[in-house]
Structure 1
Amino acid sequence: MSVLELATVSDKAAGAKLCRLCSTVRLWLLPVLYDTVILSSAKTIERFAYGQMENPDSAVVYPPPASVVRKLWIGPTSSTVQNDLAYSSSAWPITYVHQILVRCASLHALAIVNLYQGDWFRLAHVLPAGLRALTLGPVHGKVDWRYLPCSASLREFTSMDTYMMDLELQQIVAAPHIRTVRRVYSRVDHINLAFDQLECVEKATSLERLEIVCCAESVERAASVLERIARCYKPNPERIALVPKSHLCGSTFDPIAVLFNDWKSSWRT
């Protein structure tokens, strides 16, 4: 890594200024500046979409910053902090999200959080073909694996607080390239839904791991619930992983923040 790249890692504001020096420096530093992008409000989504353009005539910047993004989070990063991307909110700039995804040629990990399930179909067909990890929820739209542009490259799928039909889940776990499916429940109330669908996993040939993530006020409480339910369903420990977590950030119920922190730390491009 060059001196300029190292400087950009430690100070992205300075790196952004260095990009103005010349096109060569810009090409060096864009992948460092935009490796991971968090778009947690309508304004940041719109600003990033506009950032792909060079002028009011909509001439595309070359290369557009979106083309070097490897990890992208779209949606709120907290359940408690007020923002304009509430579930089913009309403030969601779907058109701009669409424009961004179309340009994300290098994207490996994508999270779309708090998007109304009825709007999912407007984005599903423009997911980058090379996507390896997809995170959706809570209450996301139907994921029809057969028609996703990235179905041949996806290795990980995470679903939060969403009921999926048996056929939908079977298509996901039976996909030839999928390795990990993660079902996250922010409360213990609906964790039985995941156990009720364990039969859907039996015929999966490529799946290495199905994680059932149970969140409660403490890890101990979540572990106790998982242990009690597992005694009835007897999941295969070689393939089914039961993961207890706390849904608290500090002392506040904040499952989206928990999901966000896990996403940041667990997936490496």
Structure 2
Amino acid sequence: MKHLPALTVPTRPSALRDSLDGSPQISRPLSCFCSHVPPVASAQPAAGPWDPLLPKLPSAGAPGDPVAIANASLQATTLATQTAMNMGRNFLSSLGIVSPAADPSTSVRGNRVNGPQAIEYVIRRGGTQIGVPYSWGGGSLTGPTRGVDQGADTVGFDCSGLTRFAFAGVGMLLPRWSGDQYDAGRKVPPSQAKRGDLLFWGPGGSQHEAIYLGGGQMIEAQRTGVPIKVSPVRHAGMTPYVVRIIES
């Protein structure tokens, strides 16, 4: 894939404000990055009746017994599935599609939601975490958590933790690791990238990922010491495809 020059991040306060207000150019494909400098993409959608943050749930813990660990893992998976389904039901309820008391199975059929409103909600939810620290292994469906290894002392998100958090808001339960998320949706050429698609770096998407905002911009949890931010898309090392989780 041809490597194109990266865009620069605007530093003027007014430009940063503009990046949070929305842009009609948000679906510009990646192949157009170098043709001109587009309006800065937005990490916020148009105003809507959505609360992107929900009450946090206590983290699951497990003692050292292997059987107990396996049981706790199963319980955590069940809890994550139920949490995502509840979030999806609440999201659809906010749009008047289902009632809050509806059967969760009617919220997200086939683990897929469709439409621009869902994409905007995902981006809005991710945007609420701008400025939160990077923490390797950090992040849950409901918010930042302590990471592991070098992230053990920091409450925050890593790249896949942030994307998982963002998509959980519409009931989408993504795998935990970026390489697995690379296989979680429909792969499309970068030239056809749309707002809300996932961008990946490294073999099989194993090194990094971000949410594409359009206009040559993305929101990402990049690395230790760098808080969650909106960045220009970096082409070096990108995978041959971007991944579309939500169809519009």
TM-score calculated relative to the size of structure 2: 0.26
Which one has a larger percent strand, Structure 1 or Structure 2?
A: 1
Give the structure with higher Rg (CA). 1
Give the number of the structure with larger relative contact order, counting CA–CA contacts within 8 Å between residues 6 or more apart: 2
Which one has a larger percent helix, Structure 1 or Structure 2?
A: 1
